Amino acid sequence: MKRTRAYKGLNALVLLVLTSLVMPALAQTAEEKGLQIAQERKSRDEGWGDSQAEASMILRTADRQEIERKMRLLSLEMENDGDKGLTIFDQPADVKGTAFLNYSHAIEPDEQWMYLPALKRVKRIASRSKSGPFMGSEFAFEDLSSFEVEKYQYRYLRDEKLSGMDTFVVEQTPAYEHSGYTKLLVWIDKQHYRAHKIEFYDRKDSLLKTLTMHDYQQYLDKYWRPMKLSMVNHQTGKSTDLITHALSFRTGLTEDDFSQASLKRAR
């Protein structure tokens, strides 16, 4: 009896030593795995160049009243930096022709300009905020700007089934000091590395909003874009849908189309 027990104990010890020697080579920390997923996600979405979209925003109150806003979104992919974006507002009528230019940066404040047709002037907006509401919607500006690896620190949490898909659940902590969030939980499908659901946690670390992506379409045989984004604010009960009606890639836009001078031309 005694012998057997001692033998077993020795066995366990040997196993432990062996495992501790082998494990580091095989295993990956949750942080490393999270980063790896993010890098893969980014790499699968590189090279699209530029795009133009027509979109609507449907804003809803807690008691389901709704209102629609229309806009055009022009984007230019930038290497090693956040993308450049130009938003031209079409509706409501009193902001028609207002154009908003944004150079997004991962950990620096964005650069922002706005052309006000009623004032016939371009104004630069100097603000540290990226978390303000976009057109009074439940989307903050930082929710809409391009995904950059440097924007967050990552931690892989678990695998999960999300409406039949195999997904990774990754926790992302914003690197930007003035972000409105403490963390994001992102569900990324294992097949195409597309985000399907994002939970946003506010400064007191309670769930603020959930974003879900719907109706993914593939462009240029490679790039996946959701035709509908739904953001629900759990604290206020308000929600916003961002719907893309038309989207085209490689339309020949250049940096000139994203200059301050271009703002006045954009109609």
Q: Contact residues for other proteins (CB under 8 A)?
A: 59-63, 65, 67, 89, 92-95, 98, 100, 112, 114, 116-119, 121-129, 131-136, 140-141, 178, 180-181, 202-204, 206, 235-236, 238
Cβ-based nearer residue to other proteins, 66 or 215: 66
Is residue 183 within 8 Å of 77, Cβ to Cβ?
A: no
Cβ-based nearer residue to other proteins, 60 or 194: 60
What is the residue-wise DSSP string for 57-101? EEEE-TT--EEEEEEEEEEE--TTSPPEEEEEEEESGGGTT-EEE
Q: Minimum distance from CB of 102 to other proteins (Å)?
A: 9
Tokens of 230: 């739904």
Cβ-based nearer residue to other proteins, 129 or 259: 129
Q: Minimum distance from CB of 200 to other proteins (Å)?
A: 10
Cβ-based nearer residue to other proteins, 137 or 212: 137
Q: Minimum distance from CB of 140 to other proteins (Å)?
A: 6
Q: Minimum distance from CB of 104 to other proteins (Å)?
A: 13
Cβ-based nearer residue to other proteins, 75 or 167: 75
d(CA 138, CA 242): 10
Q: Minimum distance from CB of 62 to other proteins (Å)?
A: 6
d(CA 175, CA 235): 24
Rg (CA), the chain: 23
Cβ-based nearer residue to other proteins, 45 or 241: 241
Cβ-based nearer residue to other proteins, 59 or 184: 59
Is residue 184 within 8 Å of 78, Cβ to Cβ?
A: no
Can you tell me whether residue 152 is helix, strand or coil? strand
Q: Minimum distance from CB of 97 to other proteins (Å)?
A: 9
Is residue 235 within 8 Å of 147, Cβ to Cβ?
A: no
Q: Minimum distance from CB of 129 to other proteins (Å)?
A: 4
Give all strands of the β-sheet with 223-233 in edge-to-edge order: 111-116, 99-103, 84-91, 66-76, 50-60, 239-249, 223-233, 207-219, 195-201, 183-189, 165-174, 152-162
